[in-house]
Amino acid sequence: MSNPIHRRILFSIILLSTLLCMCPTTCAAPAFHSSLVKHAKRRIRGQWMRMIMENVTEQDEQVFSSPLSGIILDHRLPESGSNSVSAYTLKGTYKGHNGEDLVIKILPHNSTYTWGEAKALKAVGDLVDSGTISYTNPARGGSPKYLPAVIMKKKSGQILEHLPCYQGAKPAVKKKLRTSIVTLLCAKVAEVAATKRVVHRENHKRNILISLKDDKSLTVSSIELVDYGWPGTFFVYENVDATDVKSQAVSVPCI
């Protein structure tokens, strides 16, 4: 095997064998994703959407220019999104809303990412208010900092794994429920994209809230999308037809 050609042939054989061995591991989708493999593999054709920070205007940059007043934090939420410091429900009332029906999400910085998130929330009809808040992270202590925050409508439902009836269900029943959720989720993503011109792409379990018809049933009555922050949110270009948007959005990987 001193011949360079022979060495290259041997190297190619070894490399090909290695890749073939790795393929089942690297290409296999998690069980929860199996129903959406056909969607995840489809490529979105053409330029029909852009990231939220690419759509920010000078007016959007003023969204956190004023301090929020009358804010009384209540329960801290365990799931607050990747691009956030923390999230809470509110006590009392705020601008005519019951505090329990609102969530305040405290953001890490004032930037195109957070301006874009506020704009996306407004576009889908979830934004109630935005501004800055004096906040001390209970996990870190120290002096309070003025941080940007968005106040938004709280969505109904729970994360799938938090539903007691799902936790105690048999594997076959769980699989059936996940399949139905995937179908409803794709329809929801497509509907929001077509009507609100906002594409929700980060469709992992923590960003989907499930409501069932009753406590004992595993039949879904509705699903809600949460967290319209970077990097999983996009705006649809103005000149793209709503019908095309809906068909394209179905190819966006869900869960």
Between 55 and 5, residue with greater pLDDT: 55
- Conformational region of residue 88, where left means phi above 0, alpha means psi within -120 to 50, and beta covers everything else: beta
Give the model confidence (pLDDT) of 184-193 as tens digits.
988 899 899 9
Element (H, E) at 50: strand 49-51
In-domain check, residue 11? no
Q: What is the pLDDT of residue 143?
A: 82
Structural domain range at position 108: 55-153
Residue 229: which of 248, 204, 209 has the closest Cα?
A: 204
What pLDDT is stored for residue 239 in this prediction? 76
Identify whether residues 69 and 129 lie together within a single domain.
yes
115 within some domain: yes
Q: What's the pTM value of the predicted model, to 2 decimals? A: 0.77
Residue 194 lies in a domain: yes
pLDDT at 72: 93
The count of other CB atoms within 10 Å of the CB of residue 185 is 23
Q: What is the pLDDT of residue 19?
A: 34
Three-state secondary structure string covering 52-111: HHHHCCCCHHHCCCCECCCCCEEEECCCCCCCCCEEEEECCEECCEEHHHEEEEECCCCC
101, 127, 153 — which closes off a domain?
153
Which tens digits make up the pLDDT trace of 93-146?
999 999 999 999 999 999 999 999 999 999 999 999 999 999 988 777 778 889
Same domain, 66 and 109: yes
pLDDT over 90 at 255, yes or no:
no
Q: Is the pLDDT of residue 25 over 50?
A: no
pLDDT at 32 over 70: no
Say whether both 161 and 195 belong to one domain.
yes
Asked which of 153, 187, 212 is the last residue of a domain, the reply is 153
Examine the domain organization and report whether 114 and 93 are in the same domain.
yes
Q: Is 243 helix (H, G, I), strand (E, B) or coil?
A: helix
DSSP state of 162: G
pLDDT in the model for residue 126: 97
pLDDT category at 15 given cuts 50, 70, 90 is very low
- Is residue 167 domain-shared with residue 109, that is, in the same domain? no
User: Does residue 1 fall inside a structural domain?
Assistant: no
- The answer to the question of residue 221 being in a domain is yes
> Which residues does residue 153 pair with via DSSP β-bridges, in sequence order?
102
- On whether both 181 and 109 belong to a single domain, the answer is no
115 and 83 housed in the same domain: yes
Look-up: residue for tokens 């509705």?
222
pLDDT value of residue 253 = 56
Please enumerate in sequence order all residues whose Cβ is within 8 A of that of 38, keeping only pairs 6 or more positions apart, or say none: none
Q: How confident is the model at residue 45 (pLDDT cuts 50, 70, 90)?
A: very low
Q: What CATH number is associated with residue 70?
A: 3.30.200.20
Q: What is the DSSP letter of 15?
A: H
**Average model confidence (pLDDT) for the chain?**
79
40 & 162 share domain:
yes
Confidence of residue 79 (pLDDT cuts 50, 70, 90): low
The total of structural domains in the chain comes to 2
In this prediction, residue 124 carries a pLDDT of 96
pLDDT for residue 122 = 97
Task: State residue 152's pLDDT score.
Answer: 97
* 132 and 215 part of one domain: no
| Residue where a domain stops, chosen among 108, 138, 153 | 153
31 pLDDT band, cuts 50/70/90, is very low
60 and 147 housed in the same domain: yes
